[in-house]
Amino acid sequence: MKKQQRDNLLISFFKEKEKYKTLAEYFVRLIRDDPSAPKESIHTILYRIKDESRLIEKIDQENMNSEFDIKPITHKNFHERIGDIIGIRIICLRLSDIVKVEAYLKFLVEENLLKFIQKPDYKRSFVLPIGLGKVSPQNINLQYSGYSSIHYQIKLGENSDVSETFKSIQIELQLRTILEEAWGEIDHKYRYSYSRIGEAFPEHIHSGFYNLSAYLQAAAMQAEQLCREVEAHRLTKSLKLKRNKKRSVSPEYESKEQINGPVEPLEVSSALKSVLEETFGFKPTARTLTYIIKRLNKLEYSQRSKRFFHKIFTKRRLNEFRNIYQEVFKRDPFTNDNNRNIDIINAVNFALFDEIEGTMVATEGLRSTLKWRKDRLSI
């Protein structure tokens, strides 16, 4: 690359760098502040803006390897052609957490808050079936040990509350476990970075790093198994306590529902959706419904009757929610298609707080939440 071309690229990059940082911070906040995000499944969210020297190096490589009929990357088009200027990494503790975050990202796409530019790329870490210090034979069959990370190429969708300028910028999103992150960081610092600049290592070092990946993949599977055993143990213990408590309850303390006869338990996904549609006048999205079900499970309300939920989502509470919402935002709730699902989450939380903690606590909690929403930085 000629000096003038390099200078033009760097000047353009530095002019845009603050914008990239703002967009990266917005995306991190989008997930951290979204009440429906599976926060219990997310350990850390990190972002980085590509280093300028690495950017120049990558553009040089892309231009050298590109076909003759493809226009070269320049200071005018690099932000469209280089897809990883912004990198976001979501790190999970467990393998099963990855599945939950994947489902959440699909919900965001369904609601047009995100766009997948291409399908997720499952980067595999593979194990060389040879001993440490041995030279690998030719035409070896690599044995896959699992995914080292999942790579997404994304943009913000039309329903995201950002300007059109930000919606045109690509982001590389990586999803991986904390053990995969450990391997990636060690490999990047001690092997990849040197290999990239042409420094050669003996074969046993490369195979050793692949074997290390296998050990950590095995550790990740063991960790998942241990976590599931802990959860199974706690569930068994909880069920025993509930059975014992049920036996000790005297007739005079039975609920009205028990006295009036058995009630059909709520079939969560369909019956709850029906109650919410009746109450709020529109269908909640799958992401919103998933969040509400999780909230009800935490409160041990998920198996209550449909009548119970009508009792929770009363007209009085809905009117009170509307009044406080109008007080803060100077407009009615549920009228903006982009915001009405977060409105329904706020309304449900208000109703649950009112039921459990009382009107005064619920009212102040709602005012605080809505003011925070109003004051939240939007780009």
Q: Which of 76-80, 124-128, 193-197 has the highest mean pLDDT?
A: 76-80
- Chain segment 268-278, per-residue pLDDT in tens: 557 778 888 88
At residue 128, the pLDDT reads: 41
37-54: average pLDDT = 93
At residue 246, the pLDDT reads: 61
pLDDT band at 61 (very low <50, low <70, confident <90, very high): confident
At residue 12, the pLDDT reads: 92
Measured at the CA of 151, the angle between CA 148 and CA 154, to 5 degrees, comes to 165
Mean pLDDT is lowest, of 87-101, 141-155, 223-237, for 141-155
Q: Which residues contact 119 (CB under 8 A, 6 or more apart)?
A: none
- Chain segment 176-227, per-residue pLDDT in tens: 999 989 888 888 888 888 887 788 889 888 888 888 888 888 888 888 899 9
Q: How far apart are CA 268 and CA 293, in angstroms?
A: 7
At residue 70, the pLDDT reads: 81
Mean pLDDT is lowest, of 173-187, 225-239, 252-266, 291-305, for 252-266
Give yes or no for a contact between 181 and 143, defined as CB atoms under 8 angstroms apart.
Answer: no
Q: How far apart are CA 297 and CA 293, in angstroms?
A: 6
At residue 319, the pLDDT reads: 94
At residue 221, the pLDDT reads: 84
At residue 192, the pLDDT reads: 80
**DSSP 8-state assignment for residue 51:** P
Mean predicted lDDT score pLDDT of the chain: 82
pLDDT band at 126 (very low <50, low <70, confident <90, very high): very low
What ranges in 249-334 are assigned the alpha helix state H? 256-259, 273-280, 286-298, 306-312, 315-329
Give yes or no for a contact between 151 and 174, defined as CB atoms under 8 angstroms apart.
Answer: yes
pLDDT band at 115 (very low <50, low <70, confident <90, very high): very high
Q: Is the pLDDT of residue 266 over 70?
A: no
Measured in whole angstroms, the distance separating CA 36 from the mean position of its chain's CA atoms is 10
Q: How far apart are CA 211 and CA 56, in angstroms?
A: 33
pTM of the entire predicted model: 0.77
